[in-house]
C-alpha cells in the first residue's frame, strides 16, 4: 500500500494529494489523547497561467489533516479506504468517482 496518492475528482474538478502523517504534526496533547498518526490532505484546482495560456498551474485551495488512534498501516488496509475517508472529509461524499493518477506529487 502506498503512503501517498494523488487523485483527480472530475465532478469537483479537483485534485487531492493524500498522504500518511509522519508524527510531525502531533502535539503532546494529541499524543495524550491517544492519537498516534494522521492523514494529510491537500486540495488543488487547475488554473491557467496568466503569463502563458498553454500552461496550467495547480493552486492549493484547501487542506488539512485528520488524526487516527492507530498506526496508519494498522488503521487502513488499502488505499481505497483512506481515499474514501478523504473524499468524505473534503466533499462530504465518500462515493465520488475519482481517477488515481499513481504518481508522487511534490
What is the DSSP code (8-state) at residue 34? T
What's the predicted TM-score (pTM) here? Answer: 0.84
What is the DSSP code (8-state) at residue 23? S
Lowest mean pLDDT among 32-36, 44-48, 88-92, 102-106: 102-106
Structure-block grid coordinates of residue 76: 487502513
Share of the chain above pLDDT 90, in %: 59
Rounded CA gap, 27 and 82, in Å?
A: 22
Cell 498551474 belongs to: 57
pLDDT bin (cut points 50, 70, 90) of residue 106 is low
Decide if pLDDT at 48 tops 90. no
- Residue 67's contacts (CB-CB under 8 Å, 6 or more residues apart) are 26, 30, 35, 37, 38
Decide if pLDDT at 56 tops 90. no
Write the burial class of residue 18 (CB in 10 Å: 0-12 exposed, 13-18 middle, 19+ buried).
Answer: buried
Amino acid at each position: 500500500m502506498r503512503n501517498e496518492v494523488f487523485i483527480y475528482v472530475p465532478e469537483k474538478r479537483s485534485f487531492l494529494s493524500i498522504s500518511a502523517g509522519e508524527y510531525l504534526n502531533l502535539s503532546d496533547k494529541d499524543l495524550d489523547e491517544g492519537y498516534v498518526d494522521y492523514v494529510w490532505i491537500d486540495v488543488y484546482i487547475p488554473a491557467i497561467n496568466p503569463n502563458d495560456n498553454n500552461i496550467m498551474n495547480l493552486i492549493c485551495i484547501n487542506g488539512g489533516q485528520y488524526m487516527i488512534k492507530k498506526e496508519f498501516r494498522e488503521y487502513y488496509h488499502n488505499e481505497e479506504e483512506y481515499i474514501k475517508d478523504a473524499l468524505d472529509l473534503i466533499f462530504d461524499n465518500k462515493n465520488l468517482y475519482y481517477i488515481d493518477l499513481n504518481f508522487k506529487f511534490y
